[in-house]
Chain A
Amino acid sequence: MRVSRNWLGDFLELEDIAPVRIAELLTMSGTEVERTLDVGRGLDQVVVGEVVDLARVEGSDHLFLARVRGGDEEPQDVVCGAGNLFVGALVPWARPGTTLPSGLEIGRRKIRGVVSNGMLCAADEVGLGSDHEGILLLPPANAGAGLPLSDLYPEDTVYELEILSNRADCLSHWGVARELAAVLDRPLREPDLRPVASSGQPLLNSLTVEIEDESVCPFYRADGFGGIPDRAAPHWMQRRLQAVGQRSVSGIVDVANYVLLDVGQPLHTFDLERLQAGGGHIRLGVRQARAGDRLRCLDGVDRALDPATLLITAGDRATAIAGVIGGQDSAVHEGTRELVLEAASFAWTSVRSTSRRLGLRTEASSRFERLLAPQLAPVGALRFARLLTDEIGGTLRPGPVEAGRMPASAGPIRVAAASISSLLGVPLTPERTAAALRRLQFTVSSEGPDLEVIPPAVRTDVREPVDLVEEVGRIIGYQEVPGTIPVMRRAPRAGAATAPAARLAADLAIGAGYTECITGSLVPSDLVSPVRGLGTGRTDLALANPLSTQLGALRSSLLPGLLSSCQLNQARGRDRVRLFEQGRVFWRVDGARPEEPELLALVDQDVEPDPDGSAERLLHLLRVCQGLGERLSLGETEFRPAEHSGFHPFRCAEIWSGGQTWGVLGELSPKALAQLELRGRVVAAELRTDGWLVPGGRPSLAPALTRTPALVLDLAVTVPERALLGEALAAVHERAIPWLERIWLLDQYQGSQVLAGRKGWTFRLRLRDPERTLTGHDGEVTRQRVLTCLRERVAAELR
């Protein structure tokens, strides 16, 4: 919402406060200033010009040549593209040599062969609002040809405000002024609400109002006016409306808009004659729409009305959508002489859902949907009567017609002054607390240590004691509250995860050369991944209201996202891409909350691999997974050959621990790579980390560091080509052979030295006895034991 500093000046003294200081005070107290605009600055060079002649520019269908007179000198020609000029119009004229507020320098230019002496300006071009439709037409009563424009438009500052969603009371100049008066501790000048003298026929003779359900429309007031002339709003009113971005429409509409922005009450004006629609007495009604109800609205759209829509009816025919928009058929127009003014209160829930359903947000709906106080309705009616009769003309008919009941104000809020001070954490005397609240126009009386507080009716957001804490805090200013750290009376939960497994796992992957990615949790609804990691490989959880089908479902695996990140990097010229991601995926569970396993996936792509490169990279990836298991899980980790779609049939394994599968790793199949448009070779792994990895990792125990020397010896065997090293080593470990401290593969050999169908393995064994030095004989015995074990399990033979 935009507010004008000059307009705010109606309600409190602001002359001596710098515009930038006002912006700061508003922002700090909760009314954030998004932008500050200078209005009417630099207008002393622009003059009022009178159009004395108007012709089309030859050869153009939209350009006009205006002869413009500014004061006593000879009229000059100006070319103009706007269609709203007429002979006699008074318009802003920037003559050659003028600099506009935007910095634009105006010169003499030739357009279509015609010399244009400067330009005629729209409202936005002279910094008087955002309107760019047509040249700004100046009011004849105030403007005389040749006067500087600054005589008509004094300088102003306009603030664009972000009003908090609970502060319907701030959606007006009066409301914002109330805030400023509080933070500045200055008196607030209340609006003039003295009733206007009435005359003529009582309105009740022409009109009655009936509310079907007072829970959605607690209060409805209609005022009647007659003898209204067809007259535009006065210049000062148009000027203010323009400054805050409103277009001037007609006298009646401008007054209604002005009251809305002045005190915050949305009003609606009906043409009395049109409401009568030929009949005599008008029966206004407020009711829910019924099947078949339609309305041609003020914006020109003919709408079929949903039964949840609240309507204003005349003789049971829809004539307005309550709190949102009026109907064309009953709207005021140039010929309106008699009108009915609606000042009502509608339930925010009803207006809000109607406005959302229709996709239509208006100045009225954006206020009603925020719990606007019903007490504002009579304020709006009184202000309208005052301004209409004073500034446009016409008379108020006796007696507003009212329906419903003005809800009673809530009782006082009782609060211990000390509790406000103690929640804020700043020492405040009860007097200072009460004074802060009084600055906000709250009525405060003290009852011993307690305060009894009655906020103004418009402050629908203040209901409980804690709401008063906020009011006091923001009025004294949070900069006054000293910053402290809360006292900790109890230690954090013992055993709380200070080193979550996920963090350690990320460190390990980064140390191993993989770079962390974060990919989107939303994936295409029809995604079928060519690579199946954990899960089913398809997304089985779709969104009901996606932004697009490309972001239509929840991911069920990390691999598709990671592989498309590979693709992106490949496309941008990378030849080696190593990435990992940690995150949740989503699996459907029948009739229950979807499962959210925590996964870790790694990929390693070599766009131009050497022949054995991918095997080496797969084994490296395997060692990373093994490292995760060894450091961060409690059980032993095993890799079992497996088949998964999208993986190489002979280069794929599952990760097992404690009788469960925790992951899959392998090289991707050429077919999968082709589908994913990935070049070279890619190895990938996907692991489930929750449940497998434990916070803090595997507990460590110091081994006995025996001082006796080790005996190191080698053992060379041959085994069948497809023998599994993992199986062989597991067998040896299972056997718990005495003295054997460690065994590892030194070398693997395949070729002319071993029989076809077999391969050679050379192991190195390290033996030790804690008590004595081992002999050659001890070594031989151990070697035989290992050999026997290997012979049994993987058909090894001594080489």
Chain B
Amino acid sequence: MTGDDLQELTRGALEEIAGASDPDQLELVRRKYMARHGGLITAGAAALATVDGDGRAELGRAFNLAKSTVQQALHTRQLELASGGRAADAEREWLDLSHPGAGLDRGHQHPVARLVREIEDIMARLGYESVRGPEIEDDLHNFQLLNMPPEHPARDTHDTFYLAGAEAAWLFRTHTSPVQMRTMLSGRPPFRIIVPGKVARRDNPDPTHIPVFHQVEGLCVDRGVTVGDLKGTLEYLLRALFGPERKVRLRASFFPYTEPSLEADVACGICQGSGCRSCLGKGWMEILGSGMVHPQVLRNGGVDPEQFSGFAFGMGPDRIAVLRYGLPDVRELYENDLRLLEQF
């Protein structure tokens, strides 16, 4: 056998490999040329033994080239035939991927619950523990301990629902602040709590009022707590809620249970402070009321105001949801129309 013979065989083998139309045919081709015994090309190994000297080396190279070329071709064709078979099967499994359907079959969180959770999580990073308190309260905890004796003018904005008959001593809390009192009375400072919950005021329902709504209250009592601490905490909370670029301002206000009292506004999200219809031209939106806990309130809670000071703040997640999600009417939050809820 000569190098030319091997070249001739290789050419023949490549043609037949290319012509093989299924794996069985290809196997026949492989056997014809490459079978360990009697393969046309493998036979070249025996021929090699009969040649000496330079001729032998040359033939050896030709033999190796022929063998590797054919093997490579066999392998490539084998893959082609195999994938061709899968492709045929796969076609029968054609799937329309342009329309993924209804999405994950999961439910949705209520926007107010979601905001409450967000606020809890932000405050948890500052070490605030989330606590709850009763929704049905007595006058003592809801008003008197918070510096609002009977007939106090500040009660005007706390138009209260009272229970009837034998339960006349009870009322639906008008704010979450009684939980401040319950927390202080049942433990020792320092306190860092966040209190979400339902509250009620006797306001007729309209686009901005509902009789039962939500509040989130925060309280921090420790040695040496300052107005600066209140400011830093509120700025952190409000920027975490409304975005790090949002302008926040604190202005003087009045609540009977805090002194000094401050209200926090954030720049209107629509006009960024220049004044528009959405913020009634003010440029700012009132978000929360806050202040340093009044020394008498601390005393009422069994905390010595000579040693401890603290701040408290309260905000309405319903109102924030209305602002954040652009709802025209706060009552829509409680209709529970799935078209709204499924956005969250």
Interface contact A541-B163, CB-CB below 8 Å: yes
Query: Which chain A residues (163-186) contact chain B, with CB distance < 8 Å?
Result: 164-167
A15 CA to B281 CA, complexed, in Å:
24
CB A161 to nearest CB in B, in angstroms, measures 13
Query: Which chain A residues (542-565) contact chain B, with CB distance < 8 Å?
Result: 542-547, 551, 554, 565
Interface contact A470-B336, CB-CB below 8 Å: no
Interface contact A353-B162, CB-CB below 8 Å: no
A349 CA to B152 CA, complexed, in Å:
8
Q: Is B124 an interface residue (CB 8 A)?
A: yes
Interface contact A165-B153, CB-CB below 8 Å: yes
Q: Is B198 an interface residue (CB 8 A)?
A: yes
Interface contact A164-B107, CB-CB below 8 Å: no
A484-B232, A583-B198 known; A466-B338 Cβ under 8 A: no
Which of chain A's residues have a CB closer than 8 A to the CB of B280? 35
Q: Per-residue CB proximity of B234-251 to A under 8 Å, as 1/0?
A: 111000000000000111
Interface contact A478-B227, CB-CB below 8 Å: yes
Which of chain A's residues have a CB closer than 8 A to the CB of B232? 482-485
Which of chain B's residues have a CB closer than 8 A to the CB of A167? 254
Q: Is B92 an interface residue (CB 8 A)?
A: no
Interface contact A588-B167, CB-CB below 8 Å: yes
Query: Which chain B residues (154-206) contact chain A, with CB distance < 8 Å?
Result: 154, 156-157, 161-168, 170, 172, 190, 192, 198, 200, 202, 204
Interface contact B254-A30, CB-CB below 8 Å: yes
Q: Is A6 an interface residue (CB 8 A)?
A: no
Most chain B CB neighbours (cut-off 10 Å) among A426, A473, A518, A568: A518
A21 CA to B234 CA, complexed, in Å:
25
Interface contact B253-A164, CB-CB below 8 Å: yes
Q: Is B136 an interface residue (CB 8 A)?
A: yes
Task: Give the nearest-CB partner of B333 in chain A.
Answer: A518
Interface contact B220-A486, CB-CB below 8 Å: yes
Interface contact B226-A424, CB-CB below 8 Å: yes
Interface contact B337-A572, CB-CB below 8 Å: yes
A518-B336, A584-B135 known; A547-B153 Cβ under 8 A: no
Tally of A-B residue pairs with Cβ under 8 A? 240
Which of chain A's residues have a CB closer than 8 A to the CB of B292? 423, 466, 469
Q: Per-residue CB proximity of A140-178 to B under 8 Å, as 1/0?
A: 000000000000000000000000111100000000000
Interface contact A518-B110, CB-CB below 8 Å: yes
Which of chain A's residues have a CB closer than 8 A to the CB of B253? 30, 164
CB A508 to nearest CB in B, in angstroms, measures 10
Q: Which of A479, A498, A543 is B249 in contact with, Cβ under 8 Å?
A: A479
Interface contact A516-B153, CB-CB below 8 Å: no
A794 CA to B254 CA, complexed, in Å:
71
Query: Which chain B residues (300-344) contact chain A, with CB distance < 8 Å?
Result: 309, 333-339, 341-342
A352-B151, A353-B151, A473-B260 known; A466-B294 Cβ under 8 A: yes
Which of chain A's residues have a CB closer than 8 A to the CB of B154? 165
Interface contact B260-A513, CB-CB below 8 Å: no
Q: Which of A164, A422, A500, A520 is B224 in contact with, Cβ under 8 Å?
A: A422
Interface contact A478-B105, CB-CB below 8 Å: no
Most chain B CB neighbours (cut-off 10 Å) among A500, A506, A515, A569: A515
Which of chain A's residues have a CB closer than 8 A to the CB of B190? 488-490
Interface contact A481-B233, CB-CB below 8 Å: no
Stretch at the interface among A107-115, A220-228, A573-581, A772-780: A573-581
Q: Is A503 an interface residue (CB 8 A)?
A: yes
Q: Is A474 an interface residue (CB 8 A)?
A: yes
Most chain B CB neighbours (cut-off 10 Å) among A166, A426, A516: A516
Chain A contributes a number of interface residues (CB within 8 A of B) equal to 93
Interface contact A425-B108, CB-CB below 8 Å: no
Q: Is B228 an interface residue (CB 8 A)?
A: yes
Q: Is A737 an interface residue (CB 8 A)?
A: no
CB B86 to nearest CB in A, in angstroms, measures 32
Q: Is A509 an interface residue (CB 8 A)?
A: yes
Q: Is B99 an interface residue (CB 8 A)?
A: no
Interface contact B153-A348, CB-CB below 8 Å: yes
Q: Is B22 an interface residue (CB 8 A)?
A: no
Stretch at the interface among B7-15, B49-57, B125-133: B125-133
Which of chain B's residues have a CB closer than 8 A to the CB of A484? 226, 228-229, 231-232
Which of chain B's residues have a CB closer than 8 A to the CB of A554? 136, 163, 172
Task: Give the nearest-CB partner of B187 in chain A.
Answer: A493
Q: Is A647 an interface residue (CB 8 A)?
A: no
Q: Is B106 an interface residue (CB 8 A)?
A: yes
Interface contact B107-A520, CB-CB below 8 Å: no
B residues near A, CB below 8 A?
105-110, 112-113, 117, 124, 126-130, 134-136, 151, 153-154, 156-157, 161-168, 170, 172, 190, 192, 198, 200, 202, 204, 211-212, 220, 222-229, 231-236, 249-254, 256, 259-262, 280-281, 292, 294-295, 309, 333-339, 341-342
Extra inter-chain contacts (17) besides given A512-B107, A521-B212, A568-B337, CB under 8 Å: A29-B251, A165-B157, A166-B256, A352-B151, A352-B153, A466-B294, A469-B292, A473-B227, A483-B234, A483-B235, A488-B127, A492-B127, A515-B107, A521-B172, A544-B168, A565-B336, A593-B134
Can you list 27 A-B pairs with a CB-CB distance of less than 8 A? A29-B252, A30-B254, A32-B251, A165-B153, A165-B154, A369-B153, A370-B153, A423-B226, A466-B259, A469-B260, A470-B259, A470-B260, A478-B231, A484-B228, A485-B126, A485-B236, A486-B226, A492-B192, A493-B129, A497-B130, A506-B113, A521-B135, A554-B136, A579-B336, A580-B107, A590-B166, A594-B136
